[in-house]
Amino acid sequence: MIIVLKINISQEQKEHVIQLLEEHGLKAVVSHGVERTIVGVIGSEENVLKAKPHVEALEGVESVVRILKPFKLVSREFKKEDTVVDVRGVKIGARRVVAIAGPCSVENKKMMFEIADEVKKGGATILRGGAYKPRTSPYAFQGLGRHGLEILAEARERTGMPVCTEIMDTRDIEAFEEFADILQVGARNVQNFNLLKEVGKSKKPVLLKRGMMTTITEYLMAAEYILSNGNPNVILCERGIRTFEDMTRNTLDLSAIPLIKSLSHLPIISDPSHGTGKRDLIPPMAKASVACGADGLILEVHNCPEKALSDGAQSLYPSMFVKLMEELKPVAHAVGREI
Amino acid sequence: MIIVLKINISQEQKEHVIQLLEEHGLKAVVSHGVERTIVGVIGSEENVLKAKPHVEALEGVESVVRILKPFKLVSREFKKEDTVVDVRGVKIGARRVVAIAGPCSVENKKMMFEIADEVKKGGATILRGGAYKPRTSPYAFQGLGRHGLEILAEARERTGMPVCTEIMDTRDIEAFEEFADILQVGARNVQNFNLLKEVGKSKKPVLLKRGMMTTITEYLMAAEYILSNGNPNVILCERGIRTFEDMTRNTLDLSAIPLIKSLSHLPIISDPSHGTGKRDLIPPMAKASVACGADGLILEVHNCPEKALSDGAQSLYPSMFVKLMEELKPVAHAVGREI
Amino acid sequence: MIIVLKINISQEQKEHVIQLLEEHGLKAVVSHGVERTIVGVIGSEENVLKAKPHVEALEGVESVVRILKPFKLVSREFKKEDTVVDVRGVKIGARRVVAIAGPCSVENKKMMFEIADEVKKGGATILRGGAYKPRTSPYAFQGLGRHGLEILAEARERTGMPVCTEIMDTRDIEAFEEFADILQVGARNVQNFNLLKEVGKSKKPVLLKRGMMTTITEYLMAAEYILSNGNPNVILCERGIRTFEDMTRNTLDLSAIPLIKSLSHLPIISDPSHGTGKRDLIPPMAKASVACGADGLILEVHNCPEKALSDGAQSLYPSMFVKLMEELKPVAHAVGREI
Amino acid sequence: MIIVLKINISQEQKEHVIQLLEEHGLKAVVSHGVERTIVGVIGSEENVLKAKPHVEALEGVESVVRILKPFKLVSREFKKEDTVVDVRGVKIGARRVVAIAGPCSVENKKMMFEIADEVKKGGATILRGGAYKPRTSPYAFQGLGRHGLEILAEARERTGMPVCTEIMDTRDIEAFEEFADILQVGARNVQNFNLLKEVGKSKKPVLLKRGMMTTITEYLMAAEYILSNGNPNVILCERGIRTFEDMTRNTLDLSAIPLIKSLSHLPIISDPSHGTGKRDLIPPMAKASVACGADGLILEVHNCPEKALSDGAQSLYPSMFVKLMEELKPVAHAVGREI
């Protein structure tokens, strides 16, 4: 941590800064530059973390610059090797790029089974489907709830594919423990810290989506909540951030993929369905995702998008999914992976 | 709702669009322009809402434009007169601009009482303080929890001021019903829909903060969740949105205040503490907030910011708060209000 | 400047960093922290500026943190007292808040004279009007060009008000020197560095609008271009930045006003017309601008907005302008100013 | 164009709307919905364009929704087949993905020749280098100017590669006509409309970079300026937009590539150097660019980045460039292209 002092700081204020650092067990290295005095802070990261907000509030302090990244357990420096998350035998973060596919919402058993069969044939190895749906409008379809979870579990029995589904409420954790294989935390809940703590206490892998408004640092800190509560099996997912551009639903920030891979050992997948919101943009952006190093893709597929109760416009037809999976093979090979 | 068809839409696809509208009880008015065919949709808003996602997913459809705003109960059209929320006798949304003040976090009883006394003297009529704190880092102070609520309740006994405090978890609703006077839903939970439903079932007024990345439409839809679950006592709060500018913690979007007042009957207050993140910017932005029509201010005040366990850099000293309240009086008068 | 070294930097790389600093006449103060080594750099700002990009490109360097702000001549530290710009006797940056008003475009002599008369009656002291118009579409009205400048000059003769109008091309500088009193550089040209240099060589005051995408630092650096070319008479103008919110044309970032006033001695005005894009939002945002310290307002006024060749939807009717000017008086008084 | 009327519009105001449309040679189709009256507008796009701003300014009008895209000459609807731009025999927009490479700035003849030789060996077919540099700071290196253009021309003689370099001032057009092969318009000048008109009158191909805050519509309208002034040889370039994320210099919006390809016939390339600002992110993002359909890449390469006078941190070493070109081959093949 570096503290930049104001030009007009008084001697008393300066001593107050140093004293406060010492109270936190930190050592101050004062350096008088040509135009400014700065204070380098030496000590354990834990103490620095505690002292920082206090220093920032002091009179005479112009700014406080953090030198170290605030995340620990999720960082490459803490753990050098890539984390590979095992979901009932499907490995995420290994050489094979994983395809998670299925409808936005679980609507009924028949459609769920049909789509599950189709995506399995296409090469998906994990099934997705929402039972509890976060909807902008209270008047929109809110999902089948627990019954949706039961249908998902039946689809798993039928196809052998583990299931990934979104949890929105800390009170639902037991039901998810019973029925789901991956607990998905959605973009809107990426800083629902109580939910993060709760899935952090679970033994199930967690798919943590980046929020549409979270910086990469905040996002990794959200993952840190889960790891620090005991669950190391976190899969990250870039799903688009919010920008001024309005021709796409979000702006898929693919540079986050190689950047996060350099900062963290956790696997990261890409969601071009939400990232673009437009069916026709999904195939090219899925290819781009694999080309820049994504460990997997999560894709919305619906057998009849115009009957879908949610996200029809960004759902692939099963035939498009099959074709895309074929086209992804040479892209994966081109970067030394399989799909 | 207006549907714009693609130039190359087939006759069959066109009929499919009209048929789908009819299945939803809607009437289609087809209009052949010079370069494009568009379909006007007539029918109840409820049916339009249901049909929209399906139409968007149809082949041959270029885009779907909503004509009506999606919010109902929160809208000016639904209710013309301003809503005035009564919090134990303090009226929010009436002529008098309300000041809600207090520390970011409840740290202990002594500091809470001291600050409560100070802000009351300065003219605050509602006390704020966080018992459960949403923190970016799992290693940062997370709040006193239930004990913090108890301290707040004692501060209310002592000062007579109702208390406003943030709820983060649906499981805590009973404790908040017992101790708090205003249930605050924070920026990060503005689209935690289960929490919105839960506070919507409460009888207590809700202070719903705008998310740092919610559009005004999404924000009003979040309020719609609360009203549609039975609670009409919602206070809105502009607290800054996230932009590319990094010299301030957020960008306080004051134009949201008069804009929301034209769209909705709900009262709206301003939070220049979080909106700027810098102590020195709070007084000018508080004045600007009142000048453009805010019904209140929520301000962080700490008797020793450099000892604050959170948000010290954006906390006013009690003396600054007192001075600001004085300076706000002529500004309020200038726009026909009191403070 | 602080240099943070990578954990795994080699001794050779470390020496290379120090050598490079020395080659630039800088002194390195190496500080070994618990987890990281950092290098404080001491020397003249000029040398630091030259060395920085080179250091950033070195292997073994994790990041480079600037301590000092990059702007000089525009900074408060360079000049403590507020700059007051004198435009033919109208003072911008003094106690009186200045109103610059007029149509978006100069359309013809008749309308220009009518509007000039009206805004003068309402209390404006400077007249605005565009002769060269930056339009998103090549098919939209592009302004009257030089003829527009001549009309403006005639309106100045008629009313005695100095005129403010936008320059878009370095080749037009002589015509503007002849006819205009304030050279306006528009938001889209805020980083048209050749234009900045050219108006920097002029003797006329410059109204430099913030770009919709410039950070405050970049914005002040654009002003620095003008001052460093010899022209100290720069008026800044907050006119809204681009964000994800789409209900307003831009997001008027009013916190930039007090923030820039703390960083720079230059006067700053507000443009709520472009800042909101909506006629009804202009009065409340004009009041907010004055309340937070703006030195002036620039407002679009048209006697027949629906006949305006540009920006009709954000133009005030003359009667609204007159009313607003009245309403602004108590707001200005409330913050110790006149209007 | 669709006009949504306010609920409380008067009969007189409604007639005023229709009359104004008729004055512009347009036909109004009024449609009374359950909650709102809307007016469909039928007529030539030219008339609609003229009428729109006037209608928006009318009392009683709630909003005006454009149905058609505002761009014409650049649109796929105007020209179905891909445009292939021929730069002295190098074809951009054809099957072969083109690599444009070279240093950020032309610093001197020796370095320019060395880098030119290296990138040619690596497989680049067009040489880049800045002679006039847009720099945020007036104190930073501003380029060699005309002398830089001469060096570039010599490098072309030496290597046979056409050269691409940025023009910043309308007054420089003749020098660029003489020395350059591609006139580059930089991100900061994407809405410098006079410069766009000037390069639109040139016979040389134009590389038009997307602005860091231009929407795709605005960006295509900037290209429309060039085409409508007579120059059809425009190459588009995604180079990153500005968002809240600050770990990268910009956010490379790769979805813009397939999206623009669906909207326009113009070729589009990607600039991962400026798009990320970080050397290590360039290879993965270059691969992603090719995978999602980019027609080319523009890359900064420097033989000694730490001595570069600009952008050293985002310059590839020549060896990295050579390696990347090799790695791009299978990616290009995977999507049916060559490089």
Same domain assignment for residues B142 and B96: yes
Under an 8 A CB cutoff, do B34 and D40 touch? Answer: no
Write down the ipTM of this complex: 0.93
pTM: 0.94
Same domain assignment for residues D150 and D45: no
> Which residues, other chains included, contact C130 with Cβ-Cβ below 8 Å and sequence gap of 6+?
C103, C104, C105, C106, C143, C148, C165, C166, C310
How far apart are the CA of C190 and the nearest CA of chain B, in angstroms?
16
Same domain assignment for residues D252 and D151: yes
Per DSSP, the three-state class of C11 is: helix
Using a CB-CB cut-off of 8 Å, the residues of chain B touching A54 are 306-308, 312
Same domain assignment for residues B264 and B322: yes
Using a CB-CB cut-off of 8 Å, the residues of chain D touching C218 are 136
Would an 8 Å CB–CB cutoff place B309 in contact with chain A? yes
* Gap between the Cα atoms of D339 and D324, Å rounded: 11
Task: Report pLDDT digits (tens) over C140-154.
Answer: 889 999 999 999 999
Would an 8 Å CB–CB cutoff place A46 in contact with chain B? yes
Interface test with chain C among A7, A26, A29, A44, by most C beta carbons within 10 Å: A29
* Gap between the Cα atoms of C119 and C99, Å rounded: 9
**Residue where a domain stops, chosen among C14, C35, C65:** C65
CA angle in degrees (0–180, nearest 5) for D276-D274-D166:
175
Same domain assignment for residues D145 and D285: yes
Under an 8 A CB cutoff, do A291 and D293 touch? Answer: no
CB-CB contact of C166 with C192 (8 Å) = no
Under an 8 A CB cutoff, do C255 and B285 touch? Answer: yes
Closest-approach residue (CA) in chain C for B326: C334
Same domain assignment for residues D233 and D134: yes
pLDDT exceeds cutoff 80 at A315: yes
Using a CB-CB cut-off of 8 Å, the residues of chain B touching A211 are 213
Radius of gyration of chain C (CA): 23
What one-character DSSP code corresponds to residue A171?
G
Using a CB-CB cut-off of 8 Å, the residues of chain A touching C7 are 77
CA A1 to chain CA centroid, nearest Å? 27
Under an 8 A CB cutoff, do D292 and A284 touch? Answer: yes
* Gap between the Cα atoms of D93 and C117, Å rounded: 56
Per-residue pLDDT of chain C (339 residues; tens, 9 = 90+): 888 888 888 889 999 899 999 999 998 888 787 677 888 888 887 788 888 888 888 888 888 887 778 889 999 989 999 999 999 999 999 999 999 999 999 999 999 999 999 999 999 999 999 999 999 999 888 999 999 999 999 999 999 999 999 999 999 999 999 999 999 999 999 999 999 999 999 999 999 999 999 999 999 999 999 999 999 999 999 999 999 999 999 999 999 999 999 999 999 999 999 999 999 999 999 999 999 999 999 999 999 888 888 888 899 999 999 999 999 999 999 999 999
Q: Within a domain: residue B339?
A: no
Same domain assignment for residues C184 and C97: yes
Using a CB-CB cut-off of 8 Å, the residues of chain B touching A192 are 168, 188-189, 192
Q: Which two tokens stand for residue B98?
A: 């309300």
Under an 8 A CB cutoff, do A213 and B213 touch? Answer: yes
The CATH number linked to A195 is 3.20.20.70
CA C46 to chain CA centroid, nearest Å? 25
D258: nearest CB among A254, A284, A331: A284
Nearest to C223 by CA among C115, C83, C111, C106: C83
Q: Which two tokens stand for residue C284?
A: 């409340």
Q: Within a domain: residue D29?
A: yes
Q: Which two tokens stand for residue C42?
A: 């001491």
Q: Which pLDDT score is estimated for A187?
A: 97
Same domain assignment for residues C249 and C326: yes
Same domain assignment for residues D94 and D176: yes
Task: Report pLDDT digits (tens) over A213-233.
Answer: 999 999 999 999 999 999 999
How far apart are the CA of B202 and the nearest CA of chain A, in angstroms?
17
Same domain assignment for residues C197 and C141: yes
- pLDDT band of residue A208 (cuts 50, 70, 90) is very high
Which residues of chain B are modeled with pLDDT < 70? 34
Mean pLDDT in residue range A1-20? 88
Q: Which two tokens stand for residue A133?
A: 């749906």
Q: Within a domain: residue C79?
A: no
B31: nearest CB among D33, D40, D43: D40
CA distances from A181 to A266, B81, C21 (A): 18, 50, 55
Percent of chain A residues past pLDDT 70, beyond the cut: 100
Q: Which pLDDT score is estimated for A229?
A: 96
CA distances from D100 to D205, D237, D300, D329 (A): 14, 12, 9, 15
Q: Which pLDDT score is estimated for B330?
A: 98
Task: Report pLDDT digits (tens) over D144-156.
Answer: 999 999 999 999 9
DSSP secondary structure of C257-283: HHHHHHHBSS-EEE-HHHHH--GGGHH
State which residues form the domain around C181: 85-334
Q: Which pLDDT score is estimated for B204?
A: 97
Closest-approach residue (CA) in chain B for A191: B188
Task: Report pLDDT digits (tens) over A136-176.
Answer: 999 888 999 999 999 999 999 999 999 999 999 999 999 99
Q: Which pLDDT score is estimated for C69?
A: 81
Under an 8 A CB cutoff, do A288 and D284 touch? Answer: no
The strand pairing partners of C268, in sequence order, are C236
Under an 8 A CB cutoff, do B255 and C262 touch? Answer: no
Q: Within a domain: residue B71?
A: no
Q: Within a domain: residue B73?
A: no
* Gap between the Cα atoms of B59 and A313, Å rounded: 9
Q: Which pLDDT score is estimated for D232?
A: 97
CA D86 to chain CA centroid, nearest Å? 17
Q: Which pLDDT score is estimated for B146?
A: 97
pLDDT exceeds cutoff 90 at A321: yes
More confident residue, C136 or A292: A292
Using a CB-CB cut-off of 8 Å, the residues of chain B touching D35 are 45, 68
Query: How many domains is chain A built from?
Result: 2
pLDDT exceeds cutoff 90 at A304: no
Task: Report pLDDT digits (tens) over D158-192.
Answer: 999 999 999 999 999 999 999 999 999 999 999 99
* C267: number of Cβ within 10 Å: 26
Using a CB-CB cut-off of 8 Å, the residues of chain D touching A295 are none
Under an 8 A CB cutoff, do C292 and B288 touch? Answer: yes
The CATH number linked to B58 is 3.30.70.1140
Q: Which pLDDT score is estimated for A6?
A: 86
How far apart are the CA of B176 and the nearest CA of chain C, in angstroms?
33
Under an 8 A CB cutoff, do D255 and A289 touch? Answer: no
Closest-approach residue (CA) in chain B for D64: B67
**Residue where a domain stops, chosen among C12, C33, C65:** C65
Q: Within a domain: residue D239?
A: yes
**Residue where a domain stops, chosen among C34, C65, C96:** C65
Q: Within a domain: residue C117?
A: yes
pLDDT along chain D (339 residues), means of 10: 86 90 88 79 82 86 82 92 97 98 96 97 97 92 95 98 98 97 97 97 97 96 97 98 95 98 97 95 98 98 86 91 98 97
CA angle in degrees (0–180, nearest 5) for D318-D324-D330:
155
Using a CB-CB cut-off of 8 Å, the residues of chain B touching A307 are 54
Q: Which pLDDT score is estimated for C47?
A: 86
> Which residues, other chains included, contact B137 with Cβ-Cβ below 8 Å and sequence gap of 6+?
A49, A70, A221, A224
Q: Within a domain: residue B310?
A: yes
Would an 8 Å CB–CB cutoff place A103 in contact with chain B? no
Which chain A residues in 11-30 lie under 8 Å from chain C, judged by CB atoms? Answer: 29
* Gap between the Cα atoms of C135 and C279, Å rounded: 20
Q: Which pLDDT score is estimated for B225?
A: 97
Using a CB-CB cut-off of 8 Å, the residues of chain B touching D38 are 2, 40, 67
Would an 8 Å CB–CB cutoff place D248 in contact with chain C? no
Same domain assignment for residues A59 and A190: no
Q: Which pLDDT score is estimated for C153?
A: 98
* B16: number of Cβ within 10 Å: 18
Q: Which pLDDT score is estimated for C46?
A: 79
Q: Which pLDDT score is estimated for A51?
A: 87
Same domain assignment for residues C36 and C115: no
